[in-house]
Chains A and B, each alone.
Chain A
Amino acid sequence: MEATLHRTPLYARHVGLGARIVPFAGFAMPVQYEGVIPEHRAVRSDCGVFDVSHMGELHVDGPTTQGFLQAMLSNDVDRVGDGEAQYTLLTNEHGGIVDDLIVYRLAHGQFVLVVNASNREVVYGWLKDREPRGTEVRDASDAYGLLAVQGPRSLERLGLFEAPAFTHAMGELDGIEVMICRTGYTGEKGVELCCAADDAPGLWDAVVARGAVPCGLGARDTLRLEVCYPLHGNDIGPDRDAISAGLGWACALETEFTGVEVLRRVRTDGPARKLVPFVMEERAVPRQGMPIAGGGEVTSGTHSPMLDRGIGMGYVPTTTASPDSELVIDVRGKPKRARVVRKPIYRKET
């Protein structure tokens, strides 16, 4: 099975560090090195580095690209200037989410979409099928390495200045040319560094030498869930509309895009179910797929290293979706109490 998995340019680094390797979205990826909990804590307290080279990078270029992306993506791409980026959704006719992604504008008519590894081919095919004259969609994923360097000391360790979130610029780190993106998936300060695939091992070594702790997909999941960032395939997907998922803020409903009329209707009528974050009141770890009493199910669940409690997100009827509502989750046949909380589940004490 392993033989058929793709490897990122950093595979040998992961093996050399003794990582536990698992299949993820068709790639052999490190789930942990030292352990999920110490890696999680490193990102919350200092600085961690993740290999996210498995993610897809699609170039979308041409004189008609701006209008094309505006019609395909939920957010208002006209508000993205050169050197800026935006979280947005690729939606289907039902207002469902084909993928959630970040669009980077390099220059007029030149965009890069960074998409989930598991959806790379679907997104590429979706856009290619609809590509108008004057736009070219190109899958350049194999050309790049991508590292996420995250944590309160990440900029200091990389010798970078502060910059606004969702901006990007070309730069250099220890002699390696990188695109420095002020984005991430942990809720911490940090950057994502995109480089040529061949440069990725050198960039990884430089970042680790500067004190970033190697972190695997396990910590990536616990970190994102503590701050309630949805994971496509768990919390959002083609059968879940963006409004019920709480992603109305990423939908410019005054613009025209695929499925917008459905989303306008859900916004007006109010969703029947909503995606809510919750914290366990009893010792138990919620997991994806567990039923919630009264209708609903857990879409993501884990143990929060910072709260030392079970946490999760799930869809529940609107009547039990407000903060402080009590939920009862079926944990392998045992009812366990949980409480709906406000986002994010974990907030740094300031």
Chain B
Amino acid sequence: MPAAESYPDELKYHPEHDWARIDGGDATLGVTWFAQDALGELVHYEAPAVGSTVTKDESYGEVESVKAVSDIVAPLSGEVLELNQKAVDEPETVNDDPYGDGWLIRIRMSDPGEVDLLMDAAAYRAHVADQ
């Protein structure tokens, strides 16, 4: 069952439709409801390797639906600590629960100051409304 549209207040957002949940020096990353809805039911998640580094504003992986492929853009920089194997094995999890079970990677931030450059939920909702 695809999730209903939502943009949780406790998350930070990147304009390329990615979210970050900050937890001390770590962050969990994923794609927003808007991104998964635009792509449709996901059939593949090409994940980065644990231990690799991701760079803010650059692609760290890909998600694909039947019809389209999309880069996943890192909202923050850091080292990949963990990837969500459930999203690799069952990519539709991202459609079902984009902010919960459908998270994509967890990173150790290399520059926590980057958090201040992200949008809050209100700003992101306004950004989506413009699309």
Contacts and interface: CB of A to CB of B under 8 A. Distances in A.
Interface of A: 31-32, 35-37, 218, 222, 283-285, 287, 302-303, 305, 308, 310, 332, 334
Nearest to B92: A37
What range describes how many residues of B lie at the interface?
10 to 19
Contact of B62 (A222, A310, A332): A332
A222 B44 contact: no
A333 to B, nearest CB: 11
Contacts of B66: 36-37, 218, 222, 302-303, 305
Contact of B69 (A35, A222, A283, A285): A285
A283 B44 contact: yes
Interface string B58-91: 0000101111010000000000000000001000
A218 B41 contact: no
A218 B44 contact: no
Nearest to B38: A20
B90 to A, nearest CB: 10
A283 B62 CA distance: 12
B43 A303 contact: yes
A287 B62 CA distance: 14
A287 B77 CA distance: 30
Contacts of B40: 32, 35-36, 218
A287 B67 contact: no
A37 B43 CA distance: 10
Given A218-B67, A285-B69, A287-B69, A36 B41 contact: yes
Nearest to B89: A283
Contacts of A218: 40, 66-67
A303 B62 contact: no
A118 to B, nearest CB: 18
Contacts of B44: 283-285, 303, 310
Interface centre among A36, A302, A303, A310 (most CB of B within 10 A): A303
A280 to B, nearest CB: 10
Nearest to B45: A283
B100 to A, nearest CB: 21
Contacts of B88: 283
Given A37-B41, A303-B44, 7 more contacts: A31-B67, A36-B41, A36-B65, A36-B67, A283-B88, A284-B46, A332-B69
Contacts of A310: 44
Contacts of A36: 40-41, 65-67
Nearest to B90: A308
